[in-house]
Structure 1
Amino acid sequence: MDPVRNPFAPGAGTQPPELAGRADILERGRITLARAQAGRQGKSFLLVGLRGVGKTVLLNKIVDQAEEAGSVAHLVETPENKSLPEVLIPCLRRILFRLDTAEKVNVAAKRALMVLKAFAGAIRVSVGEVEVGLGIDPERGVADSGDIEADLPDLFEAVGTAARSRGRSVVLVVDELQYVAEREFSALIMAMHRVAQKQLPVVLVGAGLPQLVALAGKSKSYAERLFDFPRIGPLIEVDAISALRDPAVREEADFTADALARIIELTEGYPYFLQEWGYHAWNVADDPLITRDDVERASLRAIASLDESFFRVRFDRVTPREKDYLFAMSRLGPGPHRSGDVAAALGVAVERIAPTRNSLIRKGMIFSPAHGDTAFTVPMFDRYLQRVRAPD
Structure 2
Amino acid sequence: MKKINPFKPHSPVPTAMFAGRINEITTFEKGLHQTKNGSPNNFLITGERGIGKSSLLMLYKPLATGAISTDYGNFNFVTINTVISPRTNMLTFIKVIERSLKREIGKIESVRSFLNDTWDFVQRIKVLDSGIEQSKSTEDPDLVIDDFAYSLSETCNRIANPEKGEQAKDGIVIFIDEADNASCDLHLGYFLKVVTEMLQQHGCDSVMFVVAGLPDVIEKLSASHESSLRVFNQLKVKELSPEDRHYVIDRGVEEGNKVNEEQTTISADAKRHISTLSEGYPHFIQQFSYSAFDTNTDGEISEDDVLNGAFNVGGALDSIGSRYYESQYHEQIKSDEYRQVLSIMAENMSSWVKKSDIREKFTGNDHTLTDALKALTARKIILKNTSKMGEYRLQQRGFALWIKLFGNRKK
Aligned amino acid, residue 241 of structure 2: I
Q: Secondary structure at the match of 1:72?
A: strand
Which of 57, 60, 65 is the matching residue for 2:58? 60
Separation in 1, partners of 2:400, 2:318: 15
Q: Structure 1 residue 275: deviation in Å? A: 0.9
Aligned amino acid, residue 61 of structure 1: L
Q: Structure 1 residue 227: deviation in Å? A: 0.4
Kept after mapping to 2: 8 A contact 1:173/1:205: yes
Question: Which residue is equivalent to 1:261?
Answer: 272
Q: Structure 1 residue 18: deviation in Å? A: 1.1
Q: After superposition, what is the alpha-carbon deviation per residue over 1:201-253, rounded to whole angstroms, capped at 9, x for unaligned? A: 22111211111223334443433431012111211011011011233245253
Separation in 1, partners of 2:138, 2:357: 47
Q: Secondary structure at the match of 2:119?
A: helix
Question: Which residue is equivalent to 1:134?
Answer: none
TM-score by length of 1: 0.77
Identity in percent: 18
* Closer, same or farther: CA 49–326 of 1 in aligned 2, 3 Å: farther
Question: Which residue is equivalent to 2:100?
Answer: 94
Q: Secondary structure at the match of 2:43?
A: strand
* Closer, same or farther: CA 192–99 of 1 in aligned 2, 3 Å: same
Question: Which residue is equivalent to 1:270?
Answer: 281
Kept after mapping to 2: 8 A contact 1:46/1:227: yes
Question: Which residue is equivalent to 2:296?
Answer: 285
Kept after mapping to 2: 8 A contact 1:337/1:375: yes
Separation in 2, partners of 1:339, 1:194: 51
Separation in 1, partners of 2:133, 2:29: 34
TM-score by length of 2: 0.74
Residue 183 of structure 2 corresponds to residue 189 of structure 1: no
Question: Which residue is equivalent to 1:296?
Answer: 307
Question: Which residue is equivalent to 1:114?
Answer: 120
Tell me which moved more, 275-284 or 178-187.
178-187
Separation in 1, partners of 2:382, 2:143: 32
Please list every run of 5 or more consecutive structure 2 residues that lacks an aligned counterpart in the other structure: 67-74, 161-168, 258-262
Q: Structure 1 residue 61: deviation in Å? A: 2.5
Kept after mapping to 1: 8 A contact 2:173/2:210: yes
Kept after mapping to 2: 8 A contact 1:99/1:162: no
* Closer, same or farther: CA 390–294 of 1 in aligned 2, 3 Å: closer
Residue 227 of structure 2 corresponds to residue 222 of structure 1: yes
Separation in 2, partners of 1:20, 1:356: 37
* Closer, same or farther: CA 95–353 of 1 in aligned 2, 3 Å: farther
Separation in 2, partners of 1:337, 1:117: 57
Question: Which residue is equivalent to 1:104?
Answer: 110
Kept after mapping to 2: 8 A contact 1:45/1:204: yes
Which of 145, 151, 157 is the matching residue for 2:144? 151
* Closer, same or farther: CA 39–350 of 1 in aligned 2, 3 Å: farther
Mark the structure with the bigger radius of gyration. 2
Aligned amino acid, residue 311 of structure 1: Y
Count the aligned residue pairs.
370
Separation in 1, partners of 2:405, 2:139: 49
Which of 319, 324, 346 is the matching residue for 1:305? 319
Q: Structure 1 residue 178: deviation in Å? A: 1.2
Residue 171 of structure 2 corresponds to residue 160 of structure 1: no
Which of 382, 385, 391 is the matching residue for 2:403? 385
Q: After superposition, what is the alpha-carbon deviation per residue over 1:63-111, rounded to whole angstroms, capped at 9, x for unaligned? A: 3333334322222221223334323322323314644443335776344
* Closer, same or farther: CA 160–305 of 1 in aligned 2, 3 Å: same
Aligned amino acid, residue 230 of structure 1: L
Kept after mapping to 1: 8 A contact 2:189/2:222: no
Q: Secondary structure at the match of 1:210?
A: coil
Separation in 2, partners of 1:199, 1:338: 54
Quote the RMSD (CA, aligned, Å).
Answer: 4.0
Separation in 1, partners of 2:343, 2:223: 29
Separation in 2, partners of 1:216, 1:260: 39
Aligned amino acid, residue 319 of structure 2: S
Question: Which residue is equivalent to 2:166?
Answer: none
Aligned amino acid, residue 227 of structure 2: Y
Q: After superposition, what is the alpha-carbon deviation per residue over 1:313-338, rounded to whole angstroms, capped at 9, x for unaligned? A: 665653625x8656534533437889
